[in-house]
Structure 1
Amino acid sequence: MDSKEHLETKIIQTKGADYMATVIAQKWGNSLGIRIPKEAAEKVGIKQGSEIELIIAENDEIITLKPKRLQKKYTLEDLLSQITPENRHNEIDFGSEGRELI
């Protein structure tokens, strides 16, 4: 690989942006890939193996990369601990339909 094929990164100051870099798209198998500069990855919390959402705005030539945030996994105990008399509703009788055994 010659020096032209290596990633080139340029840090650019842009109005309204906290960080911006220019990177080169390179062939990666049948796809194209870019490298995310270390400073940018640290700024948004991307690590090796992070899932990243790629968003393309309709009618724009803008690609947004955003780390996918993991949703908190609740246990039954967590959910039950949040029940209070104020947020608990009364039983609702929907009647019977068909041949349910109640």
Structure 2
Amino acid sequence: MSTVVAQKWGNSLGIRIPKDVADKIGIKQGSEMELNVIGNEGIITLKPKRTRKKYTLEELISQITPENRHEEIDFGIEGRELI
């Protein structure tokens, strides 16, 4: 457990996250964090906001190989198809 000191930062208060803690949870300067206050217990939790990488269509298509493609599946006729 680390002890940190709250310091004035504009109209707010800020704390510094020690480097070893930041490295351990994989955050760096500019990382977005989710801040939660638990009831009236005085407990604050910080959690790195994880965002999923958004792939382009080209990136996804480039990963298609003959090995990871499946055969066409015939589900039969559904509804009122003529063919």
- TM-score past 0.5 threshold: yes
The percent identity for this pair of structures is 64
Q: How does 1:26-37 map to 2 (within 5 A)?
A: 26-37=7-18
| Matched residue, 2:67 | none
Task: Classify the secondary structure of the residue corresponding to 1:36.
Answer: coil
Give the count of matched residue pairs: 73
Quote the offset at 1:61 in angstroms.
Answer: 1.4
Which stretches of structure 1, 4 residues or longer, exceed 3 Å deviation after superposition? 74-78
| Matched residue, 2:41 | 60
Quote the offset at 1:59 in angstroms.
Answer: 3.5
Quote the offset at 1:74 in angstroms.
Answer: 4.5
Q: Which runs of 5+ in 2 are unaligned?
A: 65-69
Determine which structure has greater relative contact order: mean sequence separation of CA pairs < 8 Å that are 6+ residues apart, divided by chain length.
2
| Matched residue, 2:20 | 39
TM-score under structure 1 length normalisation: 0.54
TM-score under structure 2 length normalisation: 0.65
Q: Which runs of 5+ in 1 are unaligned?
A: 1-19, 94-102
